[in-house]
Structure 1
Amino acid sequence: MLWSERMVVRDGVRLVCRDWGGLGHPVVLLHGLAGHAGEWDVPARLLTRRFRVVAVDQRGHGASDRYPHDVSRSAYVADIAAVIDQLELERPVLVGQSLGGHTAMLTAAAHPELVRALVLIEAAPGDPNPQTPKDIGTWLGSWPIPFPSRQAAVAFFGGGPVGEGWAAGLEERDDGWHPRIDRDVMVASLADNAQRSFRPAWRHVTCPALVVLAQSSFISESDIDAMLEQRPETRAMSVPGTGHDLHLEQPEALHSMLLGFLEDLT
């Protein structure tokens, strides 16, 4: 194991982090909805050559408390502020994929004094969409739980590095492989996004920002155009031949983009 487990407790909720160490400026990695900190293992190993790296299992995910009493966007943000404080990470760069990127953005907007820079991977402020929680609930409900084997889970999640990454978030029990999340908690975590726009928060981000998109992106062109219009100094890059989980598909290409952006901050 190249990382050590660190625990942060905020408002009674236990958050587990993978602390990869490293001597450089801190970088905090945030997974997406229904994900886990282990998704970042390959990028984390690469980044530790130059940076102090911490990957967080966010509330309701992975090794952190599975049934937190509050899954609002503000609770997720307060968690990251607590991680920064309790692990003594001086003005880290926040790197988040999908909903983790959304959390990173909101944290940078709410706590500009805590965040040095922001990287959004397949993430955008977005407008309210009441259908999103329903769609996510349907997708999670389609999982054949328990999976009879890890190999079956890899195949269900699409095979290759994406399937392996998702399967790594499961836990083995006597009757098979189970997710380390609760469907209802995941659906509730999207309630705020279903009800209001977070575009004002993007306008309040003051730190340097990089947006990394997949070739087959979940983010619409109109959303990207709006982001760049509101913050024209934002860098935007795309990783060819990738989908929404580009951090699993092409971690080396992502690392190169991150490294170029991070080196320009020094």
Structure 2
Amino acid sequence: MTNSSGSPWSERHVSRDGVRLSVRDWGGSGTDVLLLHGLAGHSGEWDATARLLRDSGHRVVALDQRGHGASERRPEDVSRAAYVADAVAVIEELDLERPVLIGQSLGGSTALLTAAAHPALPRALVLVEAGPGGAHPGTQEQIAGWLAAWPVPFPSREVAAAYLGGGKEPVGDGWAGGLEERADGLHPRFDSEVMVRSLDENVRRAFWDEWAAVACPVLAVLGQGEQGGIIGGDEYAEMVRLRPALHGVSLPGAGHDVHLERPDLLHRLVLGFLRNVS
């Protein structure tokens, strides 16, 4: 089913403290789901997963987090608390009832911290390549260098997908889908400086206290591609120690962008997990 513009989703907007947030509302009925993308990403990364979840009986919305996509590009506040407050505002404004929070990478951090700060709010939590983490000095410099190396503007979507995908077509297509077209080519829909600042808290400390405060069931989906995922063995072991009921799945061959590489498999994992969630 598509709307009058031919898109399978409608664009909704939520404003919080003067910051405009853009949401892809896929509609549907059943258990509500909020999808949260990673750093330098966009809500469109979730299109394949969103369609599958909607068609299997869920109400699905995907948020362009502040600083990303069609949302406010240069928000002053990029603290973890601001990201969490945005998620709560979207849940309340769109009348999502005890949604399942599904987040990848930085979006997983947002989902985790939202569940910790508002224990009664989510029905369940799905972390895709995300965890409580720890301090990693130098991460911001690495991210800044990576973004600065992008050969912007890209002359075409095909060139962008080839560069950003690292040889994986679904990943490249997903990243390229977040670019905006200008007269001279395709550009990111974010500011690199905002992306780097968004990691301020994540590189300074871990969120183990918040992890212990999560009250809902949790599924952790980890990539194990050639370059490995970002959740190491020690971190995952501590996650399990603090939450013995954690459901964890490792996917050999999949990398950090599991949601782009294997949306079909991620969809099946989420459905299987939710069958046992009241």
- Give, in whole Å, the separation in 1 of the partners of 2:34 and 2:170: 22
- Give, in whole Å, the separation in 2 of the partners of 1:38 and 1:55: 8
- Give, in whole Å, the separation in 2 of the partners of 1:68 and 1:251: 30
Contact kept in structure 2, 1:17 and 1:54, CA below 8 Å: yes
Question: Is 1:16 equivalent to 2:25 in the alignment?
Answer: no
Residue number in structure 2 paired with 1:237: 249
Q: Could you tell me how far 1:254 is from its partner in structure 2?
A: 0.6
Question: Is 1:204 equivalent to 2:216 in the alignment?
Answer: no
Question: Is 1:156 equivalent to 2:163 in the alignment?
Answer: yes
TM-score normalised over the length of structure 1: 0.98
- Give, in whole Å, the separation in 2 of the partners of 1:259 and 1:28: 15
Residue number in structure 2 paired with 1:110: 117
Residue of structure 1 aligned with 2:49, choices 33, 43, 59? 43
Residue number in structure 2 paired with 1:184: 193
TM-score normalised over the length of structure 2: 0.94
Q: Could you tell me how far 1:176 is from its partner in structure 2?
A: 0.6
Any unmatched runs of 5+ in structure 2?
1-6
- Secondary structure of the residue aligned to 1:187 is helix
- Give, in whole Å, the separation in 1 of the partners of 2:49 and 2:87: 19
Any unmatched runs of 5+ in structure 1?
none
Deviations 1:216-245 (CA, angstroms, capped at 9, x unpaired)? 211111110010011010100022311000
Residue number in structure 1 paired with 2:4: none
Question: Is 1:67 equivalent to 2:74 in the alignment?
Answer: yes
- Secondary structure of the residue aligned to 2:144 is helix
Task: State, as a whole percentage, how many aligned pairs show the same letter.
Answer: 61
Q: Could you tell me how far 1:264 is from its partner in structure 2?
A: 1.6
Deviations 1:178-229 (CA, angstroms, capped at 9, x unpaired)? 0001000000000011212211110110110000011121111111001001
Q: Could you tell me how far 1:16 is from its partner in structure 2?
A: 0.4
| Aligned AA (2:196) | V
Aligned residues: 266
| Aligned AA (1:179) | P
Residue number in structure 2 paired with 1:248: 260
Runs of at least 4 residues of structure 1 off by over 6 A? none
Contact kept in structure 2, 1:109 and 1:204, CA below 8 Å: yes
Contact kept in structure 2, 1:239 and 1:253, CA below 8 Å: no
| Aligned AA (1:62) | G
- Give, in whole Å, the separation in 2 of the partners of 1:117 and 1:86: 20
- Secondary structure of the residue aligned to 1:145 is coil
Deviations 1:121-146 (CA, angstroms, capped at 9, x unpaired)? 00011111221111111111111111
- Secondary structure of the residue aligned to 1:264 is coil
